[in-house]
Amino acid sequence: MSKAQLKIAQGTKLSNSEWQVRKNDAVARGQGNLAPIFVERALGSEIWDVEGKRYIDFGTGIAVCSAGHSHPKIKAAVAEQLENFSHTCVMVTPYDSSVRLAEKLNQLVPGPSKKKSIFVTTGAEAVENTIKIARAYTGRRGVIAFSGGFHGRTMLAMGLTGKITPYKNLFGPFPAELYHAPFPIEYHRVSVTESLKALDNLFKVDIAPSDVAAIIVEPVQGEGGFYPAPVEFLQALRALCDEHGIVLVADEIQTGFGRTGKMFCAEYAGIEPDLVTVAKGMANGFPIAAVVGKSEIMDSPLPGGLGGTYAGSPIGCVAALAMIEVIEEENLIDSANRVRDTFASRLEALQAKYPQVIGHLRTSHGAMMAMELVQNGDADQPDAELSKNILGKAYEKGLVLLSCGSRGNVVRFLPALNISDELINEGMDIVARSLAELVK
C-alpha cells in the first residue's frame, strides 16, 4: 500500500502534493492546473487548502466569483432553489426564474433596441450560438475574429481563438470560413488604423464583406493579455458592420457584470453590439451562460435550434438573479473602480522600481488589471519565465495569481470586485517580495 493509500485508509488528510500525484494519475494532462493547491474552502477573497494554508485570491476562478466566494445572498438563493427542484430542462418545462433572468439581461445589455436572450451552460457554447444566430440571420458564412482573442475550447470557438499554444495545437482542422485580423495594441505598435487596414485587405483578399455573417471581438482581450480595444476601434467596427450588414458580437464573457468598472465593457465605447455573450461573473460560480441581443436577430433560428439539456439551469438562473442584485445593492461597479485605484498605485510603484522588467501596465478598466513582463524594457523581449516564476513564488507565499498573454508574459489581477484594500495590499506585498527575490 502506498503512503497516500495508507493515509486514505486511516482517514488522514492528504497533502497538496499527494493530491497532485493522484490527480496526475487520474486526470489527463490536457486539463492541467496552474497552482498545486487543492482547495478545501473559500470565503470572500480568501481560500484555504487541504493543508489548512490560507491564500489571498487575485484570480476568482478566472473572473468568476466577482462578489467573493460563498456570498451569503447567492448561497441562500441556491439553497432555496435546491429545496424546490434542481432540473426540469428549460426546453421542456421552464420556470419563472429563467424568464425573470432573461428580462433582466435584456435590460442590462447596452443599447436601446429591444433585446431577447437564450441560455446555455458555458462561455464557449454562448460563442458558438452567436455564430449560429448570425448565420441564420444573415444567410452568410464568414466570421472574423482577432489575433490574440480567446473565445473558448470547443471546435468553433477554438477556431475563432487567435492563440495557438496550448489551445489549438494538435486539434485542427478547424471549421471553415473563420478569419483573423490583427487586434490593435499600441504597446506592440499595432495601431487602430493598421488593424482597420488589415480588415479592409481581408475583404479584398479572403472574403467579401457581403459574405461575412459576424465579427466577434472582446472589448478587453482576456487570455490574450488584457489589452483593451481602443474606443475608436470598437466604434469603427460598429460602423463597418452597419455598412455591410454584418452582425457585431461583443464577447463579454470575461468583461461583463461590472468587472471592467461598467456593467458591460462595450459601454466605454458607447456602442450597441448586435449580440453579447455573457458567462463567468454572471452567477458568481454557478455554471450558466447566455447570448443577449437584438430581438430581430435573436429570433432568426427556428424553435428548438438553440439550447441544451442543462441550458439555463434553475440553479444558475437564481444564482445569476441574486448576483445581479448583489452588484446593485453592494455597488460592485463603483467598488471595481476603487479596487482598480488601489492596484494601480501599487503597480505604478513597482513599475517605477523595475522599469526594465515591467514593460507595461493595464489599469484602465476596473478590476481587470495586468502587468506585462519584458527584458531590457523592450516590448519585443517577453519574459514568460519571470511571469511563471512570480506565480510560483506567489503560491508559496499565500497568493493565488494568474498569468495570460499570447507570449505568456502577462501577470493578471482579477480579484473579487469587493476585495478590501487591506487584502489588496497584503497580496501586492507578496507580489513585491516575489519580484524582489527574482529580479536582481
* Of positions 38, 137, 150, 286, contacts ligand PLP by CB under 6 A: 150
Beta-bridge partner residues of 403:
411
Q: Is 66 in the site for ligand PLP (CB under 6 A)?
A: no
Q: Is 127 in the site for ligand PLP (CB under 6 A)?
A: yes
> What does the DSSP assignment read for 38-88?
-EEEEEBTEEEETTS-EEEESSHHHHT-TT-BT-HHHHHHHHHHHHH-S--
How many positions of this chain bind ligand PLP (CB under 6 A)?
A: 15
* Of positions 241, 253, 265, 357, contacts ligand PLP by CB under 6 A: 253
Q: Which is nearer to ligand PLP, 143 or 358 (CB)?
A: 143
Rg, the chain, Cα only:
22
Q: Is 360 in the site for ligand PLP (CB under 6 A)?
A: no
Q: Which is nearer to ligand PLP, 234 or 253 (CB)?
A: 253
Of residues 264-323, those binding ligand PLP (CB under 6 A): 279
Q: How far is 289 from 126, CA to CA, in rounded Å?
A: 6
DSSP symbol at 108:
H
Q: How far is 322 from 334, CA to CA, in rounded Å?
A: 18
Residue nearest to ligand PLP (CB): 123
Report yes or no: 30 and 167 within 8 Å, Cβ to Cβ. no
Q: Which is nearer to ligand PLP, 163 or 238 (CB)?
A: 163
Q: Which is nearer to ligand PLP, 198 or 278 (CB)?
A: 278
Residue entry with cell 467598488: 335
* Of positions 251, 272, 274, 372, contacts ligand PLP by CB under 6 A: 251
Of residues 170-229, those binding ligand PLP (CB under 6 A): 218, 222-223
Helices (H), ranges, 261-365: 295-298, 314-329, 332-353
The residue range among 18-26, 95-103, 249-257, 295-303 that interacts with ligand PLP, by the rule CB under 6 A, is: 249-257
The residue range among 145-153, 167-175, 195-203, 411-419 that interacts with ligand PLP, by the rule CB under 6 A, is: 145-153
The residue range among 100-108, 165-173, 246-254, 310-318 that interacts with ligand PLP, by the rule CB under 6 A, is: 246-254
Q: Is 363 in the site for ligand PLP (CB under 6 A)?
A: no
CB atoms under 10 Å from CB of 279, counted, come to 29
DSSP symbol at 149:
-
Binding mask 33-62 for ligand PLP (x = CB under 6 A): -----------------------------x
Classify burial at 116, counting beta carbons within 10 Å of its beta carbon; exposed 0-12, middle 13-18, buried 19 or more.
middle
CA 65, 405, 122, 16 dihedral sign is: negative
Q: C-alpha grid cell for residue 338?
A: 476603487
Residues engaged in binding ligand PLP (CB under 6 A): 62, 122-124, 127, 150-152, 218, 222-223, 251, 253-254, 279
